[in-house]
């Protein structure tokens, strides 16, 4: 069946930065999903939270943006997320109004392991990132910089095995601390680059009723906020994934950062109570003050029916109560909410389409679990991304990946291979679970369930254009021999709703990407992305 390029991407590709103004729509009864028209549209037709009328609609940042770590720095806000095995990692995002966010640079370029929930802090004019990693052994590193865009220092090992999710805090007496999962903490040296003494246990987290459907107790992700006369310690319990009703937010408070801590009588502050809700497994919450003095919480959650998109960043309004506690007031976050006032809006997000005029690593593209010299495989040459082949398939040839946060999208690229190479487009969860299409000089190669299978002979030779369309987990693949003027549907459809953490583990998301395996190299030109 011949399908034109215009049918696939529409006339709006050239104007990817233009925003549509469709009104928000309510969720259908009994469903956590919203129609595509509910969101305002930005670069490459991607959904954006700001509705342009003084309201916003979650997600704040779509796609996998888990364990948000946020810093208020004067009129600026900076945020980063767990980047796990993606490098360059810890991309820093910037906002001035808490709703519109723009990526800047990645702070971590050296592969030190799988990066989990970090702490972003500023002290005495210097920026710090405290980075827990799953490696051999597990530990926590710190890096620092005098400017948010770096250069960032080399990682310094704090030698904290078996501890995760650090949170930096400065007590009322000026001492510096790292709070850790499980209710522990350890003192930091005045410069923040080493620890003093031993880990101490300071807090026993509140426990939910035994009959609730959760994954595990797992008290983790401690966050610290100071408001009025109290310090507030916010913790996630119930497990990060598993049952949609498991992950939740609890709180405690103390008049001193040194304790003692009292449980909030309203715990849990946030919890998904029904699979009909739009957002599942909500947790890892931080409190932050908006430009207008109002308070908000940023945390993550899975979108109903879309485990494949990973944990997305959510913004929830906070109300302080007369008894000195706080409540989240956004409900299940399925409806538009009034934006915080004040602050200038930056352009939200970024284009995912790429003409390959420069090498955009860290903010747009990154490698999955790269070796120490992975970036040496890349160069930009005359409007092409040249990727030197390695390994045999995506299982052992780290692909170059994007974070795409829409429920449906299409991406296409011109791919040219040298003799001996195999290259193509993939939807990639990890090195054991991916799908897509590649080719060598003689045949097509399908990727499905993380396995390769030789397919019919390749009639296009060493150059073709490939398009992958993911329509709410239904995947169709097309190829073109004439630069996208006409398309032929490939005779292999796929369904990828199971490509997610509750099947495979790893806390990742299904991401579009490019790969080159075998010998020689592949040239990728004119990469185009469009949310559908």
User: Which residues are CB-neighbours of 306 under 8 A, at least 6 positions away?
Assistant: 407
pLDDT for position 36: 66
pLDDT tens figures, 239-285: 999 999 999 999 999 999 999 999 999 999 999 999 999 999 999 99
The whole-number average pLDDT for the span 429-455 is: 95
Hey, is 92 helix, strand or coil?
strand
**pTM reported for the whole predicted model:** 0.93
In degrees to the nearest 10, what's the CA dihedral of 157, 161, 166, 170?
A: -70
In whole angstroms, give the CA distance from residue 256 to residue 496.
49
Q: Residue 5 — very low, low, confident or very high, per pLDDT cuts 50/70/90?
A: very low
Q: Is pLDDT above 90 for 17?
A: no
The answer to whether the CB of 11 falls within 8 A of the CB of 27 is no
Q: Is pLDDT above 60 for 9?
A: no
What b-and-e string marks burial along 196-232, b requiring 16 or more CB atoms within 10 Å of the CB?
Answer: eeebeebbebbebeeeeebbeebbbbbbbbeeeebbb
pLDDT for position 305: 96
What b-and-e string marks burial along 498-515, b requiring 16 or more CB atoms within 10 Å of the CB?
Answer: ebbbeeeebbbbbbbbbb
Q: Is pLDDT above 50 for 26?
A: no
Q: Minimal CA–CA distance to 132: which of 157, 154, 151? A: 157
How are beta strands 443-448 and 433-439 bridged, if at all? antiparallel
pLDDT for position 33: 58
The whole-number average pLDDT for the span 479-501 is: 97
Low-confidence winner among 18-22, 197-201, 510-514 (lowest mean pLDDT): 18-22
Average pLDDT, the chain: 93
Count the neighbouring beta carbons within 10 Å of the beta carbon of residue 142.
25
The whole-number average pLDDT for the span 498-513 is: 97
The answer to whether the CB of 132 falls within 8 A of the CB of 168 is no
pLDDT tens figures, 379-400: 999 999 999 999 999 999 999 9
The whole-number average pLDDT for the span 482-495 is: 96
pLDDT tens figures, 322-353: 999 999 999 999 999 999 999 999 999 999 99
């Amino acid at each position: 069946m011949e399908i034109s390029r215009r049918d696939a991407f529409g006339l709006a590709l050239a104007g990817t930065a233009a925003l549509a103004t469709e009104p928000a729509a309510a969720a259908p009864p009994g469903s956590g999903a919203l129609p595509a028209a509910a969101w305002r549209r930005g670069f490459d037709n991607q959904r954006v939270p700001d509705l342009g009328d003084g309201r916003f609609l979650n997600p704040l940042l779509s796609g996998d943006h888990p364990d948000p770590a946020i810093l208020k720095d004067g009129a600026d806000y900076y945020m980063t997320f767990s980047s796990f095995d993606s490098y360059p990692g810890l991309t820093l995002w910037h906002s001035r109004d808490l709703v519109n966010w723009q990526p800047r640079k990645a702070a971590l370029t050296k592969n030190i392991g799988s990066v989990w929930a970090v702490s972003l802090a500023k002290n005495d004019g210097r920026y710090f990132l405290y980075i827990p990693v799953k490696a051999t052994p597990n530990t926590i590193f710190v890096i620092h910089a005098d400017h948010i865009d770096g250069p960032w220092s080399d990682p310094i090992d704090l030698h904290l095995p078996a501890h995760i999710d650090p949170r930096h805090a400065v007590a009322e007496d000026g001492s510096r601390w790292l709070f850790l999962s499980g209710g522990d903490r350890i003192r930091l040296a005045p410069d923040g680059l080493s620890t003093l003494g031993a880990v101490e246990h300071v807090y026993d987290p509140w426990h939910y009723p035994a009959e609730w459907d959760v994954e595990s107790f797992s008290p983790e992700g401690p966050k610290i906020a100071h408001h009025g006369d109290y310090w507030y310690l916010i913790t996630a319990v119930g497990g990060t994934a598993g049952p949609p009703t498991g992950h939740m937010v609890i709180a405690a408070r103390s008049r001193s950062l040194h304790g003692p801590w009292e449980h909030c009588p309203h715990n849990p502050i946030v919890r998904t109570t029904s699979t009909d809700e739009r957002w599942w497994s909500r947790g890892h919450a931080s409190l932050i003050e908006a430009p207008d003095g109002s308070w908000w919480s940023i945390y993550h959650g899975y979108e109903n029916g879309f485990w494949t998109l990973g944990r997305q960043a959510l913004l929830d309004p906070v109300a302080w109560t007369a008894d000195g506690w706080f409540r989240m007031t956004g409900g299940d976050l399925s409806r538009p909410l009034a934006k915080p006032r004040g602050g200038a809006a930056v352009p939200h997000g970024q284009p995912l389409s790429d003409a390959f005029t420069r090498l955009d690593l860290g903010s747009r593209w990154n490698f999955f679990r790269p070796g120490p010299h992975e970036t040496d495989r890349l160069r930009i040459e005359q409007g092409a991304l040249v990727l030197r082949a390695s390994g045999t398939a995506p299982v052992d040839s780290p692909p170059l990946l994007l974070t795409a946060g829409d429920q449906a999208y299409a991406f296409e690229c011109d791919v040219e291979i040298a003799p001996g190479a195999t290259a193509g487009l993939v939807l990639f969860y990890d090195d054991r679970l991916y799908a897509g299409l590649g080719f060598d000089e003689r045949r097509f190669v399908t990727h499905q369930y993380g396995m390769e299978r030789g397919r019919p002979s390749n009639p296009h030779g060493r150059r073709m254009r490939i398009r992958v369309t993911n329509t709410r987990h239904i995947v169709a693949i097309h190829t073109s021999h004439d630069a996208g003027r006409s398309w032929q549907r490939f005779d292999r459809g796929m369904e990828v709703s199971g490509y997610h953490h509750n099947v495979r583990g790893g806390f990742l998301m299904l991401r579009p990407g490019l790969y080159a395996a075998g010998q020689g190299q592949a040239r990728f030109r004119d990469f185009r992305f469009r949310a559908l």
